[in-house]
Amino acid sequence: MANKTSTIQTIYDLCRRSFSPTSTLPPPSQIVQTLYSLLDTVTPADVGLEEENVDDDRGYGVSMLNPFNRAPRWAQPITYMDIHGGDSFTMCIFCFPTSAVIPLHDHPGMTVFSKLLYGSLHVKAYDWVEPPQFVKSNESEYSQVRLAKLVTDGVLTAPCPTRILYPNSGGNIHCFTAVTPCAILDILTPPYLEDAGRKCTYYHDYPYSSFSKDEAINDGKEENYAWLAEIEAPNVYMRPGNYSGPSPLG
Ligand SMILES: [Fe+2]
């Protein structure tokens, strides 16, 4: 009996045909739409995951802390699994325990597809205000802050549509916090590459009112803006995991 082509293989083939290692323009809209539709059909089982890891900490509040049989939730790492790493795109999975955080970071010149496979995830995402608006900062350790506009600040619960962020829109700078155990399938194109100017930078966001600048915004909604300061890369507790889904060939 002939093997049915896996969804992951179909996605991989499309990415391989369509993505370039150098283009920092978003992929053509037809490709984006096709990939978006394919990703929307991906289930945890398609990538070798069981929905909601039973060995997790759901319902595990501080008041129930039992030091004898469970690690505290803050001691649990995020597990990442590489499916594909190449010049044109990377495909990987992040599995979060409850309360795990990937702090605010950017994807310069990149397009990223994120499919929430199971669970609930809080997403906060910004795009830079253009033209760039800076304020020199004297009071903090950061030399300057840059104005960004809030794009998303809410909880996603699977099943939900795939999120796509673009180089200059869609929430290119984002932060993830796991509300429950959850997992994301990510496709990044092109991948991070420091020599090509695609370096991951981490940020701290300050409320708009923290720094004053005349007429920095013109829609009057200060709550939709923040000043972002570059920070040192934080220690994110991650460990590699074994991907047990179908490995794409080709
Ligand atoms: Fe990201």
Between the CA of 144 and the centroid of ligand 1 the distance, in Å, is 23
Q: What is the pLDDT of residue 166?
A: 97
Average pLDDT, the chain: 88
Give distance in angstroms: CA of 69 to centre of ligand 1. 33
pTM of the model: 0.88
**When comparing pLDDT for 43 and 140, which is higher?**
43
What is the DSSP code string of 176-230? EEESSSEEEEEEEESPPBGGGTB---EEEEEEGGGS--TTS-SSS-GGGEEEEEE
**How far, in Å, from the CA of 174 to the mean position of ligand 1?**
6
Confidence of residue 62 (pLDDT cuts 50, 70, 90): very low
Q: What pLDDT, on the 0 to 100 scale, is given for residue 74?
A: 57
Domain boundaries, the chain: 7-50+75-240
Position 217 confidence tier, pLDDT thresholds 50, 70, 90: confident
- Per-residue pLDDT at 67 exceeds 50: no
Q: pLDDT tens for residues 96-118?
A: 999 999 999 999 999 999 999 99
**From the CA of 199, how far away is ligand 1's center (Å)?**
12
Q: What is the mean pLDDT of residues 192-216?
A: 89
Least confident of 91-105, 122-136, 172-186, 202-216: 202-216
The superfamily (CATH) of domain 7-50+75-240 is Jelly Rolls (2.60.120.10)
Q: What is the pLDDT of residue 196?
A: 93
**Res. 55 pLDDT band, cuts 50 70 90:** very low
What is the average per-residue pLDDT within 179-198? 96
Distance CA 27, CA 43 (A): 24
What is the DSSP track for 134-175?
EEE-SSSSSSEEEEEEEEEEEEEESS-PPEEE-SSSS-SEEE
Q: In sequence order, which residues have a C-beta less than 8 Å from that of residue 189 and are 6 or more positions away?
A: 15, 19, 27, 88, 89, 90, 110, 111, 112
Q: How far is the CA of 109 from the centre of ligand 1 (A)?
A: 12
52 Cα to the center of ligand 1, angstroms = 22
pLDDT at 8: 96
